[in-house]
Chain A
Amino acid sequence: MSTNEVLKAVKISKNFGGIQAVDNFSISLKKGEITGIIGPNGAGKTTIFNLISGICQIDEGKIFLEDKEITNMKQHKIARAGIARTFQNIRVFESLNVIENIFTALDPVYDYNFADSISIKKRRNIENEKHNIAEKLLKIVGLWKYKEKKPKNLAYGLQRKLEIARALALNPKVLLLDEPAAGLNPKEVSGLIDLIKNLRENYSFSIMIIEHRMEVILNLCKTICVQNFGETLAIGCPDEIVNNEKVIEAYLGEAE
Chain B
Amino acid sequence: MIDFLLSRYFVSIITFTSVTVIAVIGIYILTGLTGLFSLGHGAFMAIGAYVAGVLMVNTNIPFFLAVIIALLVSLIAGAVIALPCIKLRRDYIALVTFGFGEAITAFLRQTATITGGASGLSGIPAKTTPVLAILSVIVIIIIARKFKFSRLGRQCLAIRNDELAAKSMGINVAKVKFKAFMFSSAVVAYAGILYAFYTRYVDPGMFGWTLSAEWLIMVFVGGVNSLTGAVLASVFLSGIPEALRFAAAWRVVLYSLLILMILNFRPKGIFGDKEFSFKHFGMIKKYFKGDEGNVN
Contact = CB atoms under 8 A, between A and B. Distances in A.
Interface stretch (B12-20, B101-109, B159-167): B159-167
Interface string A87-107: 100011111100010011101
Given A95-B160, A95-B161, A96-B157, A104 B168 contact: no
A91 B172 contact: no
Main secondary structure of the interface of A (DSSP, over half): loop
A196 B165 CA distance: 21
A108 interface: yes
A95 B171 CA distance: 16
Contacts, number: 69
B161 A93 contact: yes
Contact of B162 (A75, A84, A93, A103): A93
B151 A107 contact: yes
Interface residues of B, number: 20
B173 A76 contact: yes
B279 to A, nearest CB: 12
B168 A95 contact: no
Contacts of A100: 154
A79 B172 CA distance: 10
Given A100-B154, A103-B154, A95 B166 contact: no
B158 interface: yes
B214 to A, nearest CB: 24
Contact of B157 (A55, A75, A95): A95
A177 B273 CA distance: 31
Contacts of A166: 169
Contacts of A96: 154, 157-158, 161
A87 B165 contact: yes
B162 to A, nearest CB: 5
Interface of B: 151, 154-155, 157-158, 160-162, 164-173, 225, 273
28 contacts: A53-B168, A55-B167, A75-B168, A76-B168, A76-B170, A76-B172, A76-B173, A79-B167, A79-B170, A84-B168, A85-B168, A91-B162, A91-B165, A93-B157, A93-B158, A93-B165, A95-B225, A104-B154, A104-B158, A104-B169, A104-B171, A107-B155, A108-B170, A108-B172, A166-B169, A169-B169, A170-B169, A170-B170
Interface of A: 53-55, 75-76, 79-80, 84-85, 87, 91-96, 100, 103-105, 107-109, 166, 169-170
